[in-house]
């Protein structure tokens, strides 16, 4: 049986931690959430010499052991809990060669917890350009550790790092400095109170309680040790930080030299343009527009291919398998359900391709800085702008894109409001209703129909922003009010990292949300394929008797039978049952069925109407013609008039009519609470708005 070493990968944000993780684990990695919380957990396996395996846990980015967020708290809780199955045998601290001084603060703190600690200095390929020289022998001696100099871009130093991990037992666990000198008397009293405990570990637990208050302190019962106030403890923390930086400065004076005359810096010039108060927004808008257009254009070809392939597969299975319930389940339930998962892969892949490129290049930090001032007023982060805009393509990859938002409250609000933005699935519904109820004509050169469509997009975005503002003031979730962001150096994106990100996010969607989408697809198939009583079971005979005197070909007859079956299926009866509820909105039971069916995906609305109205295909003109002839039996006027049309448009603008989105919200929030709340509140709001619109306009 091969031995396994637990390795904790720790470092400040933007030190290339993900690159090192990818270099060590390759595609042998998985992503999930920590149990009970919504912080991302990345782990992978690295094969070492002599059959040893390293279990690499990529911990969230943190600047120090003074936690101020849920992400940072995860790091500290793990490092303080020896009973955790992931407790590290060795800590691997990733630093950036250009920000070594700041990165070493975290290194010295973790080293003082007496965990074997390796220092990995990343981005070594930038040393010559920046005029940096390191004396590794001096640094290793002064920091009492082993150092690996890495360049993930040039793939150097990884083998050295693997050897150090394999021989972690030879690394000294002696602390870098004696922290107790910041207040000798206090630490002596602490030692007397807990003689069997490690002094620095006790100090981290006490200060963690002050900073975050969520640490599990059962192992170290320190509740009674309250000899200092929170403000005094904060001052001691500051003294500790100053003491550590004094030590780090002394070490770097010996072990590092920087020739500033040799350092070429284009960064400040680019920053002046990309974060400009006018040009910055303009450049970002152009980039977003390009991404948005590319997602539409590039994804449409593979999406059409996937759609056609799954439709052909269903048709083929119906032809080769014997007719029966199993064949119907396979051809009409499971295959379309799988198609409903796979069809989103191109959009997800392209969106995360662009996001990974923006992140890797260093531009995303500039976007966050630029947008944060605007978005923060509404309870969002600067990073929220990417999900909100990309939600116009599809809410699913957009909600997955919120993983880049570190603050949980801002991320949750972004997840909850993103479905308000008008996605491409709403377009078929919008286009057919607009064509039906909005008259021809122009206003300042633009057609009324085009203006209506633009207005629906603006309404959706407005609803998202206003909802975010309300949620920010309603949700009782702790959030820091200050905004600090590091501006990393610009660099060419590493192809390997981009590919890993795209594969990981796509796999995450397929395995996570895919199961829920498939399950709901099968349930909807069952409700549409079965029904009680003779009206459903004897549909063939009833329809053939009813239309016996009419000349129609076989395909028309089958359409009539399908429409009759749908009307008397469980889903049809549901449509009939909700008719009294939706009648005040100007809808009948047929629209009711379409609304229920479109929960699978909004665009199903058009296909369902095609079946109900016995139209042979999803041709918009044919369905539109048939819908225009529908009469409201109560009022004796066309069912689809201006009032009912506007009501339906507004209902689809605000309602959560998408099981795939709910599935991904459940996965990203790690709870059913938020998607259910989203479904109920958005549907209720959509109903009220549609009701008011119809009653005012009818």
Q: How confident is the model at residue 215 (pLDDT cuts 50, 70, 90)?
A: very low
Amino acid 214: pLDDT? 45
**Token pair belonging to 203:** 């100090």
Query: What is the average per-residue pLDDT within 255-263?
Result: 70
> Cα separation of 638 and 219, whole Å?
72
Average pLDDT, the chain: 81
Q: How confident is the model at residue 549 (pLDDT cuts 50, 70, 90)?
A: confident
Closest CA to 420 of 185, 179, 654: 654
Question: Is residue 477's pLDDT more than 60?
Answer: yes
Positive or negative: CA dihedral 59, 63, 64, 65: negative
Burial readout 563-575 (b: 16 or more C-beta within 10 A, e: otherwise): bbbbbbbbbbbbb
Exposure on the CB side of residue 265, measured as CA atoms within 13 A: 15
Q: Counting Cβ atoms within 10 Å, is residue 476 exposed (0-12), middle (13-18) or buried (19+)?
A: exposed
Q: Find how far residue 483's CA is from the centre of its chain.
A: 21
Q: Across 507-660, where does the E strand assignment appear?
A: none
Q: Which helix (H) or strand (E) holds 258?
A: strand 256-258
More confident residue, 232 or 300: 232
Tens of pLDDT, residue by residue over 307-349, are: 888 888 888 988 888 888 888 888 877 887 787 678 778 877 8
Amino acid 36: pLDDT? 57
Amino acid 292: pLDDT? 63
Tens of pLDDT, residue by residue over 478-494, are: 655 455 566 677 778 88
* DSSP designation for 676: H
Contact 593, 612 (CB under 8 A): yes
> Cα separation of 8 and 121, whole Å?
16
> Cα separation of 485 and 587, whole Å?
50
More confident residue, 390 or 120: 120
Question: Is residue 615's pLDDT more than 70?
Answer: no
Q: How confident is the model at residue 212 (pLDDT cuts 50, 70, 90)?
A: very low
Q: Which SS3 state, helix, strand or coil, does residue 122 take?
A: strand
- Paired with 9 in beta bridges are 58, 92
Angle at the Cα of 182 from the Cα atoms of 176 and 183, rounded to 5 degrees: 135
CATH of segment(s) 4-170: 3.40.50.300
**Token pair belonging to 162:** 């693997």
Closest CA to 223 of 204, 209, 211: 209
Tens of pLDDT, residue by residue over 636-682, are: 677 778 888 899 999 999 998 888 889 889 988 888 999 999 999 99
Question: Is residue 590's pLDDT more than 70?
Answer: yes
Question: Is residue 63's pLDDT more than 80?
Answer: yes
Amino acid 545: pLDDT? 80
Amino acid 328: pLDDT? 82
pTM listed for this prediction: 0.65
Q: Where in the chain is the domain with CATH 3.40.50.300?
A: 4-170
Q: Which SS3 state, helix, strand or coil, does residue 57 take?
A: strand
Query: What is the average per-residue pLDDT within 256-269?
Result: 68
């Amino acid at each position: 049986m091969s031995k396994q070493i637990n390795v904790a990968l720790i470092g400040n944000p933007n030190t290339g931690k993900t690159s090192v993780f990818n270099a060590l684990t390759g595609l042998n990695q998985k992503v999930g959430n920590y149990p009970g919380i919504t912080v991302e957990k990345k782990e992978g396996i690295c094969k070492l010499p002599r059959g040893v395996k390293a279990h690499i846990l990529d911990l969230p980015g943190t600047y120090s052991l003074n936690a101020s967020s849920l992400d940072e708290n995860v790091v500290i809780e793990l490092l303080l809990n020896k009973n955790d199955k992931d407790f590290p045998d060795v800590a691997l601290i990733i630093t950036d060669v250009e920000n070594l001084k700041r990165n070493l603060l975290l290194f010295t703190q973790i080293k003082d917890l007496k965990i074997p600690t390796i220092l990995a200095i990343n981005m070594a390929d930038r040393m010559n350009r920046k005029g940096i020289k390191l004396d590794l022998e001096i640094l290793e001696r002064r920091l009492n550790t082993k150092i690996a100099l890495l360049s993930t871009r040039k793939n150097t130093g990884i083998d050295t790092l693997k050897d150090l991990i394999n021989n972690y037992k030879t690394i000294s666990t002696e602390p870098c400095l004696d922290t107790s000198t910041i207040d000798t008397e206090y630490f002596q009293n602490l030692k007397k109170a807990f003689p069997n405990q490690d002094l620095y570990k006790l100090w981290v637990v006490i200060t963690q309680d002050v900073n975050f208050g969520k640490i599990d302190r059962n192992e170290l019962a320190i509740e009674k040790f309250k000899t200092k106030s929170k403000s005094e403890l904060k001052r001691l923390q500051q003294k500790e930080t100053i003491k550590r930086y004094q030590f780090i400065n002394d070490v770097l004076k010996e072990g590092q030299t920087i020739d500033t005359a040799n350092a070429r810096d284009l960064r400040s010039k680019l920053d002046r343009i990309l974060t400009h108060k006018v040009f910055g927004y303009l450049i970002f808008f152009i980039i977003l527009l390009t991404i948005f257009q590319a997602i539409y254009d590039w994804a449409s070809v593979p999406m059409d291919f996937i759609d056609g392939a799954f439709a052909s597969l269903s048709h083929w299975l119906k032809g080769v398998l014997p007719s029966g319930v199993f064949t119907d389940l396979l051809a009409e339930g499971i295959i379309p359900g799988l198609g409903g998962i796979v069809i989103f892969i191109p959009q997800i892949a392209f969106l995360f391709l662009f996001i990974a490129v923006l992140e890797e290049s260093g531009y995303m930090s500039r976007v966050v800085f630029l947008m944060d001032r605007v978005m923060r007023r509404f309870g969002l982060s600067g990073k929220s702008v990417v999900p909100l805009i990309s939600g116009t393509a599809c809410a699913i990859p957009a909600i997955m894109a919120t993983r880049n938002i570190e603050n949980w409250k801002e991320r949750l609000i972004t997840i909850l409001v993103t479905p308000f933005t008008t996605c491409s699935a709403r377009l078929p519904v919008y286009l057919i209703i607009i064509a039906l109820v909005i008259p021809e004509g122009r206003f300042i050169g633009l057609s009324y129909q085009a203006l209506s469509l633009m207005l629906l997009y603006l309404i959706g975005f407005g609803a998202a922003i206003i909802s975010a503002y309300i949620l920010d003031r309603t949700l009782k979730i702790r959030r820091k009010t200050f905004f600090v962001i590091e501006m990393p150096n610009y660099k060419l994106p590493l192809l390997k990292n981009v590919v890993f990100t795209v594969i990981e996010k796509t796999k995450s969607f397929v395995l996570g949300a895919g199961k829920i989408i498939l399950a709901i697809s099968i349930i909807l198939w069952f409700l549409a394929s079965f029904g009680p009583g003779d009206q459903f079971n004897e549909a063939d005979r009833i329809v053939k008797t009813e239309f016996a005197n009419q000349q129609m070909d076989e395909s028309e007859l089958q359409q009539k039978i399908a429409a009759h079956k749908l009307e008397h299926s469980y889903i049809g009866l549901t449509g009939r049952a909700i008719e009294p509820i939706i009648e005040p909105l100007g809808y009948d039971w047929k629209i009711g069925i379409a609304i229920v069916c479109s929960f699978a995906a909004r665009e199903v609305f058009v296909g369902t109407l095609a079946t109900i109205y016995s139209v042979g295909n999803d041709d918009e003109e044919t369905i539109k013609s048939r819908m225009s002839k529908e009469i409201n039996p109560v009022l004796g006027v066309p069912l689809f008039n201006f009032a009912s049309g506007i009501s339906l448009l507004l209902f689809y603008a605000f309602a959560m009519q998408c099981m795939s989105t709910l599935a991904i919200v459940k996965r990203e929030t790690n709870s059913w609470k938020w998607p259910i709340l989203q479904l109920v509140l958005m549907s209720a709001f959509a109903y009220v708005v549609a009701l008011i619109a119809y009653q005012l306009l009818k």
